[in-house]
Amino acid sequence: MKAVLLHHPDGLAYGDVPTPTPAKGEVLVEVAVAGVNFMDIGVRRGQFWLEMPYPKGMGVEGAGRVVAVGEGVVDFRPGQRVAWAYGPGSYAEMVVMPATSLVPLPDAIDDRAAASVMMAGLTASHFATEFYPVQPGDIALVHAAAGGVGLLLTQIIKLRGGTVIGRVSSESKAEIARRTGADHVIVDTAGEFAEAAVRLSGGEGVHVVYDGSGPATFQGSLDALRVAGTFCWYGPVLGGPGTLDIMSLPKSIKLGYAVFAHHVRTPELLRARAARLFQWMIEGKLHPSIGQVYPLAEAATALAQMESRASAGKLLLIP
C-alpha cells in the first residue's frame, strides 16, 4: 500500500509500505480521506512524537471503512464506515488503530465532511462547550476565524447564542468568516486588533478569547478581555508566550491552555461528542468548510500551504 512517512525532520517520502495487520483490540481501516492538521506540522518539524522511532507514519485524522478487526473487537465490523480524530499513520491507503479511537459514521455524513470535523470539530466543541461554555449574550474573539478550527468554532458559538468577533489576515478570509456567521471581522496582520475588539464589544472587552495564533497575539488578546474574562490559549506548534508573572495578569482574567484530547478522554466521550457534531451537521446547524483537496502523494504541498497560513478551511488528502 501507499503511505507518507517521515524519515527525519522535514524528510517526507511517499511510497510503498507493508499493509498492517490488526492486533488484539485493533481495527484495520481503508482510508477514504485524511485530514491535514497543525499537529502534523509539529510532527514534521520534530516537535512531537519524540518517543516514536523513524520512519514515522504521518497524519492522525480521517474517515474510511473497516477492512478487518483484531481479536476482541466487538464494536465494529468489516465494511462499516468510521471516522477518527487520532490515529497515527493516517496519511496512508490503510491504517491500523485501537478500536477505542474510532467512531461510527452515519450514512448521512460523507467521508470528506467527516474528516473535516473530527480533529477541528472536537477541538471547537471543547473550547465552546466545556473549557468556556458559551452562554447567550457572550461575546467571543476568535483568532484565525477562517481556519479549520475557527470556522467550526464560530458556528458552535453562534449555536449557543454568542456573538463572534473574528480576526483574519486578509479581506478574502474576512468574507469567508462572515459567510460562516461571524458578526464582526477584524482584518489584522500586525497584532493590532485589541482596540477594535473592545470597541465592537461595547467598550467592555470580550467575555472570551480563543487564541491559537502564537506569541505575537498574546498581549493583544489580554488587552481585548473584559474584567473576569477568559483566555483560551491553544495550539502548541507556534509556541507559547514565555514565562508569565501571574500577578501581572490584568482585570482578574482567567487564563488556561485547552487541549482537545481532554474533551474526549474516554471512548464514550469521544463517540458521544462526535455524534453530537454529526447530528448538528445532519440538522444543517454545522457546516464544515473544505478548503483544498490534494492527492495523498502531495501531502508535502498541503502541509506547506497550511504552514504558510495562506489556506482557508480544512485541507484534505485523498489516497
**Fold designation for 136-257:** Rossmann fold (3.40.50)
Question: Domain 2-116+282-318 carries which CATH code?
Answer: 3.90.180.10
Give me the pLDDT at residue 310, please: 74
Cα(210)–Cα(87) distance, integer angstroms: 26
Query: Over 80: is that where the pLDDT of 311 sits?
Result: no
Radius of gyration of the chain (CA): 20
Domain definitions of the chain by residue range: 2-116+282-318, 136-257
Rounded to whole angstroms, how far apart are CA atoms 235 and 218?
12
pLDDT of 240 higher than 90: no
pLDDT per position as a tens digit, 103-130? 999 999 999 999 999 999 999 999 999 9
Per-residue pLDDT at 262 exceeds 90: yes
Residue 138 has pLDDT above 80, yes or no: yes
Model confidence at 309: pLDDT above 80: no
What mean pLDDT comes out for the span 1-23? 94
Residue 61 pLDDT > 80? yes
% of residues, the chain, pLDDT over 70: 100
| Average pLDDT over all residues of the chain | 95
Of the chain, the end-to-end C-alpha distance in Å amounts to 10
3-state helix, strand, coil in the chain (%, to 5): 35, 30, 40
Cα separation, 25 vs 68, whole angstroms:
11
- Reported as a pLDDT band with limits 50, 70 and 90, residue 79 is very high
Run of H or E including 211: strand 206-211
Q: Range with the lowest mean pLDDT among 149-163, 195-209, 225-239?
A: 225-239
Is the model's pLDDT at 237 over the cut of 80? no
- pLDDT: which is higher, 22 or 312: 22
